[in-house]
Structure 1
Amino acid sequence: MPAPKVLISDALSDAAVQIFRDRGIDTDFRPDLGKDKDALAAIIGRYDGLAIRSTTRVTPKLLAVAERLRVVGRAGIGVDNVDVAAATARGVIVMNTPHGNAVTTAEHAVALIFALARQIPQADASTRAGRWEKNRFLGIELTGKTLGVVGCGNIGAIVADRAIGLKLRVIAYDPFLSPERAVEIGVEKVELDELLARADIVTLHVPLTDKTRNILSAEALTRTKRGVRIVNCARGGLVDEAALRAALESGHVAGAALDVFAVEPAFENPLFTHPNVVCTPHLGASTAEAQEKVALQVAEQMADYLATGAVRNAVNVPSISAEEAPRLRPFVALCEQLGSFLGQLTDAPVKGIRITYEGQVAGMNTRALTAAAVTGVLRPVLSEINMVSAPAIARERGIVVDEIKREGGLGNFESVVRIVVEAEDMPRDAAGTVFHDGKPRVVEIRGIEIEAPFAPHMLYVRNHDRPGFIGRFGTVLGEAGVNVGTFNLGRDAEGGNAIAFVAVDGPVDESVLAKIAAIPQVKRVRPVRF
């Protein structure tokens, strides 16, 4: 059998390249190829693995001609330049290195806080220009100030630790941060509104998701303390840049320091010309140590997979052996989709996740299944989470994950997986199984029996079991041009509580959701995506 071949299309270190070669992998190191998409597409069909940084873009078009490709390894945490869904559809594993640049990114955020507090870039430019403007650059002292950390995961916790060492008071907003974890890392857990009202400096450390996009919107900025300073080393799109510019011009925001922008590369931006803004070109992970660390990690992970089949830090497949895969794969999908369903319904902070395996599934290796369930629950807020990192992230945030196994008989089903998400407001639960066709189904929601397949776009409706609901619901969808794929109903008793779980052919507009919510029998409607 010929040795597997790997193409490295972005710059990796010589040591990383040598890892592949030491493992007997035929390695083609062409670090400038990622800049030429046509040249890359012309040769990608020869390779089993592709190692990249941020320059190479792995698109559906590229994947379509990558006939041999089995794994893409991204040296870094972000996989924005990889179409993960397209890779998954073609059976290509996508790996990243989720923890290799955490310290470096946190240190850059702290550096920007200092630069912002003392106007260091502006003072440097003025001095170099021959102006000695000592009285112009009046900074602020950090000691005793309040730092608001939005997102207190791995990077946010490191920033908090460094800030505490600098004698700042640290408050943190994070839906997944438990009170116990907050005490452990020395921060005060608060809600977002309180953080905005109290913080002298706000630093962002959350991924970009539907829930976090424009988390610092025009309206949110009005709720900040006058004279606040804003730092963003996380993701472009978290801050409404036009609104931030307006807040800077009004004097409500005293300054901002940004390493990331809504459009990158950012050659033009409304913030660039403001004198109280510090900008860097996405340098969060740009240290020699971090770049070397992630390069070595991705080489080791890809080499292990190509040589032995071991999977680590994959964002789209579980860490399971080749022998277990055929049996576990449909249950992995079931657990992730059930978890995602409950996660999308949960707005309050999550305290615990309980997964119960009943029947034959209880005798399987449930580690990957539990990781899949936790991934599904947390992904609506933490988009970059994967099945390898999910258990560790849950532990970091004080979320208790429990597994229960019951191998007894179940009547109608050979196997059932039940998930309960314990949130601060209330628990949410659902159960599912895998039918003989290998497709996951929901079989119970909130104790109500229902049989429904998953679909990319669905509507979850809780309603009173009263005549007229189905007709009015169907009329609203029909008038809006929304086509129904499947329509599944369940109820706890005649005239009691009922649930509709409906597959539709595409996203449903907010105005349509409002009309559904206005139907007298409806208690709640939520769109969910899988």
Structure 2
Amino acid sequence: MSASRALLSSPHGVASRTFTRAAPARLAAPSIPFARSGALRARSAILSSPAATVPVTSAEPKRRISHSVSDSAPLAKPAVLVAEKLGEAGLEVLRQFADVECAYGMSPAELLAKVAQFDALIVRSGTKVTRGVLEAGRGRLRVVGRAGVGIDNVDLQAATEAGCLVVNAPTANTVAAAEHGIALLACMARNVSQADAALKAGVAIEIAEAVGGALRGELAATAVNAPMVPAEVMSELAPYVSLAEKLGRLAVQLVAGESGIKGVKVVYTSARDPDDLDTRLLRAMVTKGIVEPVSSTFVNLVNADYTAKQRGLRIAEERVSHDNAAAEAPLESIQVRLSHVQSRFAGAISDGGDIVVVGRVKYGVPHLTVVGPYEVDVSLEGNLILCRQVDQPGMIGKVGNILGERNVNVSFMSVGRTSRGKQAIMAIGVDEEPDKKTLEKIGAIPAVEEFVFLEL
């Protein structure tokens, strides 16, 4: 479906009735958090304030190269290039999920010629991962692993711009080195050779696990060009990660194509002290949700913030303490507010004149709870139809019958209104994308003033 959204007038001539078809949701990479197994299984991580204008364009996002397979075909293994000597223990970890090629001692020219064939590159300190290398790998290279602590030989800025995650292996090196030093100081060096071997194996395993997790779409515990999120925070925020991205994606689809996004504000409501909330990951997910559908370049969690800044967009945040919120949950709700914009769906405009959507997590599932001034309660899964209508009997049946006749399955439905007998909003979840005729029939219902189709 094209990113441009056409307005269809109702045949009944109601001036305010419009139909809007919103831009498609494009998922660049999986975004579900993880708890990484292996030597460092306890850690996981990922990836400002008035904002300038971010134009909403109709450009098709560039897609990363991916393997197209049928449901019955086995998934192709990712390819990993190991450019410098890595311990056999680490190579064994890599071979469990990837096709591994060890090419030690390559010249810069040889690396440039080879890197485009691989999804991940592992180096030590002797190989320079320059902007040229990252540009040569653009379109496929997703992860650069530095087997060690220092990252001076990796161009972090170029990697971030390309959406290429950089991970390192800090713990195995530093812990083993500290233990080694203590052993020497204590003159108890009888196991120095074993410690040296353990150090090398630990580095190899740590970087192999980090690269493997990133290639599987998991959040790397040792990400260098992304903010670190402690494991205990990550486990709590996991259900809210999807909610944050979907709210951003939903909000940007409500913006009129000719309008620019001039201001974004994210409000987090919680029973906890606002200073105790770590919202860096959630802000990154909202940013990705807003930027990805309107960007002509590849966007993921690594470069979402960079891409937004290039467009002049800054995300303002507010943390609000709410006494009635559930204390055991890290967040009660997330609100995304787009200010100074025109909307394709007038029902999404709040009393303050902004596009406002609010969501919360219920039973582990993201839910949409507020659209503009209307309260609803629908699961943010699949596709969504929002209808603004006259509040009168029979509306649910009329819309439901049209969808049923056209073989479109309704997964959920919720109706909210500001006052009885005036205006209401109907939020309908559908499994399939309705065709143009189906949407036109819904728009032909006299009491329907406008509606919009959204992909989440």
TM-score range, shorter chain: 0.5 to 0.7
Closer, same or farther: CA 2–81 of 1 in aligned 2, 3 Å: closer
Closer, same or farther: CA 77–462 of 1 in aligned 2, 3 Å: farther
Closer, same or farther: CA 49–393 of 1 in aligned 2, 3 Å: farther
**Corresponding position: 1:421 with 2:338:** yes
**Take 2:157 and 2:358, find their aligned partners in 1: how far apart are those partners?**
33
**Take 1:393 and 1:332, find their aligned partners in 2: how far apart are those partners?**
19
Closer, same or farther: CA 79–379 of 1 in aligned 2, 3 Å: farther
- Cα offset, 1:101, TM superposition: 8.0
- Cα offset, 1:367, TM superposition: 0.8
**Corresponding position: 1:320 with 2:229:** yes
**Take 1:98 and 1:430, find their aligned partners in 2: how far apart are those partners?**
35
Quote the residue 2:83 is aligned against: 17
Closer, same or farther: CA 321–510 of 1 in aligned 2, 3 Å: farther
* Local SS of the residue matching 1:420: strand
Q: Which amino acid aligns with 1:310?
A: T
Q: Is the 8 A contact 2:221 2:228 kept in 1?
A: no
* Local SS of the residue matching 1:332: helix
* Local SS of the residue matching 1:393: helix
Q: Which amino acid aligns with 2:436?
A: E
Quote the residue 2:252 is aligned against: 343
Closer, same or farther: CA 372–386 of 1 in aligned 2, 3 Å: same
Which among 279, 286, 307 is matched to residue 366 of structure 1?
Answer: 279
Q: Is the 8 A contact 1:8 1:27 kept in 2?
A: no
**Take 2:339 and 2:359, find their aligned partners in 1: how far apart are those partners?**
18
**Corresponding position: 1:306 with 2:376:** no
Superposed CA offset, 1:271-330 (max 9, x none): xxxxxxxxxxxxxxxxxxxxxx97xx757599397298223568xxx8533332110111
RMSD: 4.2
- Cα offset, 1:358, TM superposition: 1.0
- Cα offset, 1:519, TM superposition: 1.7
- Cα offset, 1:56, TM superposition: 6.2
Which among 120, 127, 139 is matched to residue 78 of structure 1?
Answer: 139
Superposed CA offset, 1:2-54 (max 9, x none): 889xx9836x5xxx622x738x97248xxxxxxxxxxxxxx986247979965
Give TM-score scaled by structure 2 length: 0.53
Superposed CA offset, 1:216-245 (max 9, x none): xxxxxxxxxxxxxxxxxxxxxxxxxxxxxx
**Corresponding position: 1:430 with 2:430:** no
Superposed CA offset, 1:76-132 (max 9, x none): 4435999xxxxxxxxxxxxxx996389xxxxxxxxxxxxxxxxxxxxxxxxxxxxxx
Q: Is the 8 A contact 1:353 1:374 kept in 2?
A: no
Q: Which amino acid aligns with 1:335?
A: A
Quote the residue 2:439 is aligned against: 513
Closer, same or farther: CA 305–354 of 1 in aligned 2, 3 Å: farther
Closer, same or farther: CA 57–49 of 1 in aligned 2, 3 Å: closer
Quote the residue 1:457 is aligned against: 383
Q: Which amino acid aligns with 1:393?
A: T
**Take 1:322 and 1:376, find their aligned partners in 2: how far apart are those partners?**
23
- Cα offset, 1:333, TM superposition: 1.3
Aligned residues: 286
**Take 1:444 and 1:462, find their aligned partners in 2: how far apart are those partners?**
14
Identical aligned pairs, as a percentage?
A: 25
**Take 2:379 and 2:248, find their aligned partners in 1: how far apart are those partners?**
15
Quote the residue 2:417 is aligned against: 491
Q: Is the 8 A contact 2:168 2:224 kept in 1?
A: no
Quote the residue 2:309 is aligned against: 395
Q: Which amino acid aligns with 2:285?
A: A
Give TM-score scaled by structure 1 length: 0.46
* Local SS of the residue matching 1:388: coil
**Take 2:228 and 2:434, find their aligned partners in 1: how far apart are those partners?**
35
- Which runs of 5 or more residues in structure 2 are unaligned? 1-36, 41-76, 102-113, 121-133, 144-154, 170-205, 212-219, 344-353
* Local SS of the residue matching 1:482: coil
Q: Is the 8 A contact 2:159 2:166 kept in 1?
A: no
Q: Which amino acid aligns with 2:158?
A: G
Which among 323, 339, 343 is matched to residue 409 of structure 1?
Answer: 323
* Local SS of the residue matching 1:377: helix
Quote the residue 1:37 is aligned against: none
Q: Is the 8 A contact 1:420 1:429 kept in 2?
A: yes
Closer, same or farther: CA 522–446 of 1 in aligned 2, 3 Å: same
Quote the residue 1:120 is aligned against: none
Q: Is the 8 A contact 1:74 1:298 kept in 2?
A: no
Quote the residue 2:263 is aligned against: 352
Q: Which amino acid aligns with 1:21?
A: L
Q: Which amino acid aligns with 2:253?
A: Q
| Equivalent residues in 2 for 1:127-166, closer than 5 Å | none
- Which runs of 5 or more residues in structure 1 are unaligned? 29-42, 59-72, 83-96, 103-153, 156-292
Q: Which amino acid aligns with 2:250?
A: F
Q: Is the 8 A contact 1:465 1:495 kept in 2?
A: yes
Which among 421, 424, 443 is matched to residue 369 of structure 2?
Answer: 443
**Take 2:38 and 2:415, find their aligned partners in 1: how far apart are those partners?**
54
Quote the residue 1:31 is aligned against: none
| Equivalent residues in 2 for 1:237-256, closer than 5 Å | none
Q: Which amino acid aligns with 1:100?
A: A
Q: Is the 8 A contact 1:459 1:504 kept in 2?
A: yes
Superposed CA offset, 1:185-239 (max 9, x none): xxxxxxxxxxxxxxxxxxxxxxxxxxxxxxxxxxxxxxxxxxxxxxxxxxxxxxx
* Local SS of the residue matching 1:353: strand
Quote the residue 1:500 is aligned against: 426
Closer, same or farther: CA 53–487 of 1 in aligned 2, 3 Å: farther
Q: Is the 8 A contact 1:3 1:26 kept in 2?
A: no
- Cα offset, 1:447, TM superposition: 2.1
Q: Which amino acid aligns with 1:78?
A: G
Q: Higher relative contact order at CA 8 Å, sep ≥6: structure 1 or structure 2?
A: 2
**Take 1:310 and 1:521, find their aligned partners in 2: how far apart are those partners?**
55
- Cα offset, 1:529, TM superposition: 2.0
